[in-house]
């Protein structure tokens, strides 16, 4: 009996399909890690009612740097040029925001609000644009669009109210981090399940 893999074109497609579960797993892992990081930061920000500006700067900078590292990892795990550039842009935005927050020895609440707002707005626009690009699953693109809209809304809110204090900023940032984190974790779990389904499908020709 002639097997599917006997045809050259099908061999290529089969090899590409075999590599998809690995791509799904690496992407889902970075999504879950980014989501867990966001949730942890959100809980810390909300549970710290007497937060000072310096502590909030350090917390935000750590989150921005770690998030940038995970975005860079997602960029290098992607096989498409569009997602690579998109995730690298998000990594650079996070890195720039973290550096900007630490650049002032004693930033005021106003300066920190502007930095966080610019970070959320720029990152949200980048995620929104990435959601309309190719190289990702439909569910992942929908997540990018949703999380991008949430980030843009958060950035616009801060720009509209730049006079908030450290405690209010911590609460807003904490709520945003929780929403963003849970959405990333959910997307990562769904993507991992999708990778398992793809792996099962790629094993079917061997059973023929």
Segment 16-67, tens digit of pLDDT? 444 444 444 567 787 888 899 999 999 999 998 788 888 899 999 999 999 8
Spatial distance between the Cα atoms of 83 and 40, rounded to a whole number of angstroms: 26
Residue 163 backbone phi and psi in degrees, to 5 = -90, 15
Each residue's pLDDT tens digit, 94-143: 999 999 998 876 778 888 999 999 999 999 998 888 777 655 667 677 77
pLDDT score of 28:
77
Report the alpha-carbon distance of residue 67 to residue 22 in Å, rounded.
22
Establish how many alpha carbons lie within 13 A of residue 80's alpha carbon, considering only the half-sphere containing its beta carbon: 14
Dump the DSSP string for 123-142: HHHHHHHHHTSSSS-HHHHH
What is the C-alpha to C-alpha distance for residues 143 and 166, in angstroms, rounded to an integer? 30
* Count of CB atoms situated within 10 Å of the CB of 78: 19
């Amino acid at each position: 009996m002639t097997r599917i893999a006997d045809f050259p074109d099908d061999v290529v497609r089969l090899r590409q399909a075999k590599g998809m579960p690995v791509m799904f797993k690496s992407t889902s892992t970075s999504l879950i890690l980014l989501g867990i990081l966001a949730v942890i930061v959100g809980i810390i920000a909300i549970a710290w009612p007497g937060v000072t500006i310096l502590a909030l700067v350090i917390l935000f900078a750590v989150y921005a740097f770690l998030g940038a590292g995970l975005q860079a990892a997602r960029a290098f795990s992607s096989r498409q040029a569009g997602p690579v550039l998109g995730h690298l842009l998000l990594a650079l935005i996070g890195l720039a925001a973290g550096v900007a927050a630490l650049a002032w020895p004693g930033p005021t609440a106003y300066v920190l609000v502007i930095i966080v707002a610019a970070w959320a707005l720029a990152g949200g626009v980048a995620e929104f644009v990435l959601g309309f690009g190719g190289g990702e699953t439909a569910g992942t693109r929908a997540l990018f669009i949703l999380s991008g809209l949430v980030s843009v809304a958060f950035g616009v809110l801060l720009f509209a109210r730049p006079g908030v204090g450290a405690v209010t900023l911590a609460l807003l940032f904490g709520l945003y981090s929780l929403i963003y984190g849970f959405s990333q974790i959910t997307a990562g779990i769904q993507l991992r399940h999708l990778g398992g389904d793809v792996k099962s499908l790629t094993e079917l020709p061997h059973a023929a």
